[in-house]
Chains A and B, each alone.
Chain A
Amino acid sequence: MNKAKVFKLAKGFRGRAKNCIRIARERVEKALQYSYRDRRNKKRDMRSLWIQRINAGTRIHSVNYGNFMHGLMKENIQLNRKVLSEISMHEPHSFKALVDISRNAFPGNKNVVHAPRKVAMPLSV
């Protein structure tokens, strides 16, 4: 690509990488390589984020993520993690319904241990 395109892609870079073509070309190539790699990584990261959110949502109802998903699979509910995380954020009643379905389908959630809650200690010592 010619210099104008390189400079257009180099906007916001630090130092001489946005002004001088020799440095800018290297940095732009590296940036494009990173974006190629990260388009694949973004899918992984988003899925991980959804799982964290679902986990947080189910632990409110004392079910952990693994048991929750196992119960859903048993019931043949094919909602994916993206939609489940959206429901857990925005539609709490529907999410509680889903958690109840999962709990009925797969009992065995007696061992969910909540993190020890921080209790305010009095300042006496």
Chain B
Amino acid sequence: MANRRCLQALTRQATSLSSSVRHLNTPPLLSAPFPLKPLLDARQVSPSLEPNRCALWPPRARPFCSNRTSDDEDEDEDEDEDEDGEGGEVMEESDCETGKSSSRSKWEYTAEEREAEAAAIGYTLLGPLERSDRVFNPYEPVFAVVQIGSHQFKVSNGDCIFTERLKFCDINDKTQTIVGRPTVPDAAVHAVVEEHALDAKVIIFKKKRRKNYRRTKGHRQELTKLRITDIQGIEKPEKTDNEKPVKSAVKKSEKVAVAA
């Protein structure tokens, strides 16, 4: 199913945990060598989660983000997280912050509720990616099984997985999946939110023959693309050692690969 992903990125308004960054002016960023995607027309309202933000969204300028080109940086999916981190995060948080505080009566989540909901799905939000974080490690032959929502994935370092759209996550946020019982305690998988995207369109078509009934509907599922950066809770193999596979009891099977 991953080959049908349409990677038209969607900038998403979301509540963000750290509000201090929005007051920074973005430093002039290096111009990316990639073609900048036209994001200005893709700034749609995320439909399902915040329906009452529509009224305020279009005329809202972004008073705190000085550099308009910065919002294209974070949609590129490569490993160049330095520029992505700064540009993406400042853009995301300054989006609707000012309007958000004034008219958001129904959909305000306090910090505790946010964390409770996120933990219920199965992840914790660690915070935005800083410029100085070096999270993209080279490949290690360790894998972990992660459960997000109701889906389980077998992940390893450097993988990309598509999950349902995670609430309260911005692009370039680090999420950490905490596994509880009946899972391995004190193990964690770190991931970086790479983009929020929509799935390819499926057409829902219903027809009853000879009864003059025909319905057509289109649907695009909202997804989050996560890139796995780190797996903790198991000893990683040394490059020169020859270790036997380690057996762990429940839910998180880990393998220490025989070094080639």
In the complex, which residues 121-174 of chain B have their Cβ closer than 8 Å to any Cβ of chain A? 143, 145, 147, 152-154
Interface of A, secondary structure class, is helix
Residue tally, chain A, CB below 8 Å to B: 24
In the complex, which residues 26-46 of chain A have their Cβ closer than 8 Å to any Cβ of chain B? 29, 32-33, 35-36, 39
A-binding segment of B58-66, B75-83, B112-120, B199-207: B199-207
B205 touches A36 (CB 8 A): yes
B145 touches A79 (CB 8 A): yes
Known: A36-B205, A75-B250. A91 touches B143 (CB 8 A): yes
In the complex, what residues of B have CB within 8 A of residue A79's CB? 145, 152, 251, 253
In the complex, what residues of A have CB within 8 A of residue B147's CB? 78
Interface of B, secondary structure class, is strand
Q: How large is the interface on B (under 10, 10 to 19, 20 to 34, 35 or more residues)?
A: 20 to 34
B-binding segment of A53-61, A63-71, A80-88, A112-120: A80-88
In the complex, what residues of B have CB within 8 A of residue A98's CB? 253
| A29: nearest chain-B partner, CB-CB | B207
In the complex, which residues 67-105 of chain A have their Cβ closer than 8 Å to any Cβ of chain B? 75-80, 82-83, 86-87, 91, 93-94, 97-98, 100-101
11 A–B pairs (Cβ distance < 8 Å), ordered by A:
A1-B216, A33-B207, A35-B202, A36-B204, A75-B249, A77-B251, A78-B250, A80-B152, A93-B245, A94-B253, A94-B254
Kindly list 14 other residue pairs between chains A and B, CB separation below 8 angstroms, not including A1-B216, A33-B205, A77-B251. A35-B205, A76-B182, A76-B250, A78-B250, A80-B152, A82-B152, A83-B152, A83-B154, A87-B253, A94-B255, A97-B253, A98-B253, A100-B247, A101-B247
B interface with A by C-beta (< 8 Å) = 143, 145, 147, 152-154, 182-183, 202-207, 214, 216, 245, 247, 249-251, 253-255
